[in-house]
Amino acid sequence: MWRKAVIFIAGSILTILGITLVLQQWEAVVLVFKAFIGPILAVAGLVILFASTLNKA
């Protein structure tokens, strides 16, 4: 019982710290997101095009 409570409290603290750090560096987060969204969309498009050419036998 105590172990679950300690794990819950530790998880809550880590979550709050993580969200706080992300919000403090929000401009950098936006830049990283914008930097990765293009290549991710391009790869997703290529996968869709490849999947559309496969034979459905």
Distance from C-alpha of 57 to C-alpha of 42, rounded to nearest angstrom = 27
pLDDT at residue 55 in the model: 73
CB-based contact 36:44 (threshold 8 Å): no
Distance from C-alpha of 17 to C-alpha of 27, rounded to nearest angstrom = 18
Instruction: State which residues of the chain have pLDDT below 70.
Output: 56-57
To which residue do tokens 């290549």 refer? 39
pLDDT at residue 57 in the model: 56
Buried b (16+ CB within 10 A) or exposed e, 25-48: eeeeeeeeeeeeeeeeeeeeeeee
pLDDT at residue 1 in the model: 82
